[in-house]
Structure 1
Amino acid sequence: MGVDPEDDGRPGVVLVVVTWNSAEVLPGLFASLELGMAGLRWRLVVADNASADGTPDVVRAEMPDALLVETGRNAGYAAAFNAALDAVGKLDERTDAVFVCNPDIRLRPGCGAALVAGLKAHATGITAPVLYDGTGRMIRTLRREPNPLRLLGEMVLGAGRSGRFAALGEQVTDPEAYRKATRADWAAGSLMAISRECLEACGPWDESFFLYSEETEFALRAGAHGFATRLAPDAVAVHLEGEATVSPKLWTLLTLNRVRLYRRTHRPPAVAAFWAALLLRESSRALLGRSASRAAVRALVSPAKMREKPGP
């Protein structure tokens, strides 16, 4: 397993998996790789953020040829991805792409090759697969750049209905968009392929985002460099999904990072409008009894939380 020393014409890929206490879900990912990465020369790199459940032992036992990078701390998703690439070293011309992957992903046959094929079209720098959850429901992963109007549109109409209109929804909800190579401003980052050229032009992921918004920031930066993000409709995977939508702590981190990201590229009046729209949306959800949104509201109105460096 890995990138073959001789170029036999197959695309070369470095597959980075970021783990934290992932021993239970990793075997399922590993079992999907033989068929999921068929047709590629690939190398597996696992970047582990100081797991306490034996995750590194699972990697050594089940994938002994993998490069295991242990960060020694809960460093965050972007920092672990960067550490993995640092350990690999400079990507040569035989490496066409780098994949970044959650441990609870299950690749369907041919997924990897379809992601790489998508990179070769339309000046694409990032490709994302069609994702399904553990129940077989398609996950709408394509996104438009966030702004206040889209936040308010989601609050009033709901994410499903607002997403039908580009001006009113961040989430792309049109089913037709998931049947073709649709361009998006960014895509959910549980599995994505990034071309070598895109990585070289854009540089490392932003480690100031401990978790959430790191893939958004990178995709928007890639777009500014001329690299599109597109769906690869023939690439299919299953994402068992995490707990961001139910854990108050994780939802709060996700919400605060949205403001931090918007602040990077907008002037204070626009940032204030974005913060107010986000506060209004989360407040409306809190009134409906959503505990995660109540926690997010408390953080949004806390100057200390808004200044706090993201972390575990």
Structure 2
Amino acid sequence: MKSAHGEPPSRNTKPDRPALTGLNGLPGFTPATDYADVAVIVVTYNNESDVPQLLASLRCETEDQSIKVIVADNSPAPATLDVLSLQSDVLSFSTGGNLGYAGGINRAMELVGEAGSILVLNPDLWVERGSIKTLRQRLTDSGAGVVVPALLDAAGELHRSLRREPGLLRSLGDALLGSRFQGRPGWLSETVYDDGSYTHPHPVDWATGAALLIRPDVAALVGRWDEQFFLYSEETDFFRRVRLGRAGVWFEPAARMRHREGGSGSSPALTALLAVNRVRYARKYGHGMYSTSVHVIVGFAELARAWQPAHRRALHAVLRSRTWAMLPHAVQYPDPGLPENFPCGAVIIPAHNEVAVIRRTLACLARPLGTGKVQVIVACNGCVDGTEAAASSVPGVEVIRVQEPSKVAALNAGDRAATLWPRIYLDADIEISEEALRLTFEELSSEDAPFAARPAFRYDFREASHAVRSYYRARSRIPGTSAALWGAGVYGLSERGHDVLGEFPAVTGDDYYIDRLYRADEKRVLDCDPVLVRTPRSTKALVGTLRRVYRGNSEQAGAGPSGARDTMKGLLRSIRGPISAADALVYTCFALAGRGEPRSSRAVRWHRDESSRAS
């Protein structure tokens, strides 16, 4: 089974922009594992009544660009995810707790993959037609790192969403005057009240975090949203770090979104958190007299409004920092365990000297294994490094010994030992989530089960060199690479599909063989929580791996030049600008190097990437 390398068979080549159909025949979203012009991130908390309208407005925007949607749900109950489950082209998942807005964004960001831009949206708004395209155009024209739209309330009235960087005089002005005397000078107000500022595009300090379009390179530069804020001030902090990174923030009034507001709810505890987070923000970026002064001003503001119960609670919190830990903060929900109806199936893991990674892989399977419905078999082939002992130490795992250091021999031995259907064949360095395991088993056990299926995958190249990252960025954009069974380090077969296979033949690329064995309508790629494929880290490691992959592909009949031509055509179609063009050039160089033979006549015929297995 190859891990994320090689070229797609020609039968899987897709057009540049396939027609996608979503809910009730409306336009569909791009799969989360594919490149999209826009990756939309939504964080929900009991928003089952809000998200359908947001998603319907986003579907209309797909006429102008490709959009994928990722929803991180912080809800304690499944109602929001139940609603989202009806929209199969939306990637939605539970964060496992109430992680706050910043925490939810961070979890969703991990699944964004390749995208031309990232749009963070509140769940309680909807997008006016053409607004996303307008935001993208302003992002390009201005060279900004972030662009924000005009926000309107449900009645269509303009919301004063633009803000100035907090400072002592502005904090004092807001403390004394609140929203009164809106015509006061800008140095006395954090909120931008001037009507003229909402009529033309221009740079701003920051804006409320209900909607913001971010350049991916800026998102990577700024890094994770600061989860200490939980709710409120997290966007103030994010925009400040954008500006510190010399990437501007622009406002685009021609892009309009309707915001219902109140999606976070209202309570004395949240009012207190809003006040305390202003102090936290001042402490993060200022010291000594400045942060102390902000603390005093925030306390004065709450004292001036202490006749209201919520502000009395806020004053108490501001004055007693030891109570801050009792304010709303990130929490993990109790682990409910796996459902009793978790599907049956077998997982076969061929392993040759995999002691560095096998425990990590088996840890992902611990809870499914504990249900008694999942059989996990590790076929150790020619191991001399302790892999067998490491796998045997995990309760419930069946370990079989294969003398020959052959992956195909291990796969066939695992099949002979397995008693359950369907079966998943998993590389020893691949981590599969419980959701991906469950959905793959369910798909292969259904009445209209395909012969073969695999979960989605994503590349992890955080530790890789710049050249290797460039190669995989280009690779992710090639149409068809996400539709094939090979390249993920995992695939599954139904019992009928295995009957067609019989035994695994003596080939180097078993997943490439499996992909070519079945017709397009006999195999499926599932849009679910993706497995993690760690890429080679160095140029040398990638070239060595590609040589092994291309050699294995050439051994199989029909894997000839036509596949390479289709790949290059897809690569050319994927170019959308100078960055993607540079990535395509790097990809081409690696492909040529991988097809060349090493100079040394003593070069081994088998190469395994060890760099991605390093800790």
User: Structure 2-normalised TM-score?
Assistant: 0.47
2:301 to 262, 267, 281: 281
After TM superposition, the structure 1 = structure 2 runs for residues 113-262 of structure 1, keeping only pairs within 5 Å, are: 113-161=133-181, 164-242=184-262, 246-262=266-282
Given the alignment of the two structures, is residue 85 of structure 1 paired with residue 105 of structure 2, yes or no? Answer: no
Residue 101 of structure 1 contacts residue 191 of structure 1 at CA under 8 Å; is this kept in 2? yes
1:101 to 107, 121, 145: 121
After TM superposition, the structure 1 = structure 2 runs for residues 26-37 of structure 1, keeping only pairs within 5 Å, are: 26-37=51-62
2: distance between equivalents of 1:222 and 1:103? Answer: 23
Per the alignment, in what secondary structure is the counterpart of residue 31 of structure 1? helix
Cross-structure match for 1:295: 313
2: distance between equivalents of 1:133 and 1:190? Answer: 12
CA deviations over 1:58-87 (Å, ceiling 9, x no partner): 1111x2111112211111111111111212
Q: Give the number of aligned pairs.
A: 302
Alpha-carbon distance, 1:163 to partner = 6.3
Cross-structure match for 1:64: 88
Residue 134 of structure 1 contacts residue 238 of structure 1 at CA under 8 Å; is this kept in 2? yes
Pick closer, same or farther for the CA change 1:273–1:72 going to 2, 3 Å.
Answer: same
Residue 29 of structure 1 contacts residue 105 of structure 1 at CA under 8 Å; is this kept in 2? yes
1:25 to 50, 59, 68: 50
Pick closer, same or farther for the CA change 1:308–1:123 going to 2, 3 Å.
Answer: farther
Given the alignment of the two structures, is residue 14 of structure 1 paired with residue 39 of structure 2, yes or no? Answer: yes
Alpha-carbon distance, 1:36 to partner = 4.1
Alpha-carbon distance, 1:279 to partner = 1.1
Residue 163 of structure 1 contacts residue 174 of structure 1 at CA under 8 Å; is this kept in 2? yes
2: distance between equivalents of 1:168 and 1:200? Answer: 34
Residue 199 of structure 2 contacts residue 253 of structure 2 at CA under 8 Å; is this kept in 1? yes
Residue 128 of structure 1 contacts residue 193 of structure 1 at CA under 8 Å; is this kept in 2? yes
Alpha-carbon distance, 1:306 to partner = 4.1
Pick closer, same or farther for the CA change 1:243–1:110 going to 2, 3 Å.
Answer: closer
2: distance between equivalents of 1:140 and 1:165? Answer: 16
Stretches of structure 2 that go unaligned for 5 or more consecutive residues are 1-27, 331-615
2:72 to 38, 44, 47: 47
Alpha-carbon distance, 1:126 to partner = 1.2
1: distance between equivalents of 2:263 and 2:117? Answer: 29
Residue 252 of structure 1 contacts residue 295 of structure 1 at CA under 8 Å; is this kept in 2? yes
Given the alignment of the two structures, is residue 75 of structure 1 paired with residue 99 of structure 2, yes or no? Answer: yes
Pick closer, same or farther for the CA change 1:6–1:54 going to 2, 3 Å.
Answer: closer
Alpha-carbon distance, 1:48 to partner = 0.7
Pick closer, same or farther for the CA change 1:163–1:102 going to 2, 3 Å.
Answer: farther
| Greater Cα offset, 269-278 or 28-37 | 28-37
Aligned partner letter, 2:130: G
Given the alignment of the two structures, is residue 2 of structure 1 paired with residue 22 of structure 2, yes or no? Answer: no
Given the alignment of the two structures, is residue 267 of structure 1 paired with residue 287 of structure 2, yes or no? Answer: yes
Aligned partner letter, 1:291: P
2: distance between equivalents of 1:12 and 1:229? Answer: 20
2: distance between equivalents of 1:38 and 1:118? Answer: 18
Aligned partner letter, 2:156: G
CA deviations over 1:61-116 (Å, ceiling 9, x no partner): 1x211111221111111111111121234x3xxx2210111110111111111111
Per the alignment, in what secondary structure is the counterpart of residue 167 of structure 1? helix
1: distance between equivalents of 2:34 and 2:299? Answer: 55
Residue 270 of structure 2 contacts residue 328 of structure 2 at CA under 8 Å; is this kept in 1? no
Pick closer, same or farther for the CA change 1:53–1:294 going to 2, 3 Å.
Answer: farther
1: distance between equivalents of 2:320 and 2:221? Answer: 37
Pick closer, same or farther for the CA change 1:139–1:38 going to 2, 3 Å.
Answer: farther
Pick closer, same or farther for the CA change 1:35–1:2 going to 2, 3 Å.
Answer: closer
Aligned partner letter, 1:55: T
Alpha-carbon distance, 1:6 to partner = 9.2
Stretches of structure 1 that go unaligned for 5 or more consecutive residues are none
Residue 263 of structure 1 contacts residue 271 of structure 1 at CA under 8 Å; is this kept in 2? yes
Residue 38 of structure 1 contacts residue 112 of structure 1 at CA under 8 Å; is this kept in 2? no
Alpha-carbon distance, 1:227 to partner = 1.2
Aligned partner letter, 1:165: P
Between Structure 1 and Structure 2, whose CA radius of gyration is higher?
Answer: 2
Aligned partner letter, 1:86: E
Residue 186 of structure 1 contacts residue 229 of structure 1 at CA under 8 Å; is this kept in 2? yes
Pick closer, same or farther for the CA change 1:233–1:37 going to 2, 3 Å.
Answer: farther
Percent of pairs with identical residues: 34
| Greater Cα offset, 154-163 or 16-25 | 154-163
Give the number of the structure with larger relative contact order, counting CA–CA contacts within 8 Å between residues 6 or more apart: 1
CA deviations over 1:19-47 (Å, ceiling 9, x no partner): 11111111121221122454121101111
Per the alignment, in what secondary structure is the counterpart of residue 129 of structure 1? strand
1: distance between equivalents of 2:95 and 2:178? Answer: 40
2: distance between equivalents of 1:163 and 1:295? Answer: 30
| Greater Cα offset, 239-248 or 46-55 | 239-248
1: distance between equivalents of 2:290 and 2:328? Answer: 22
| Greater Cα offset, 218-227 or 125-134 | 125-134
| Greater Cα offset, 228-237 or 244-253 | 244-253
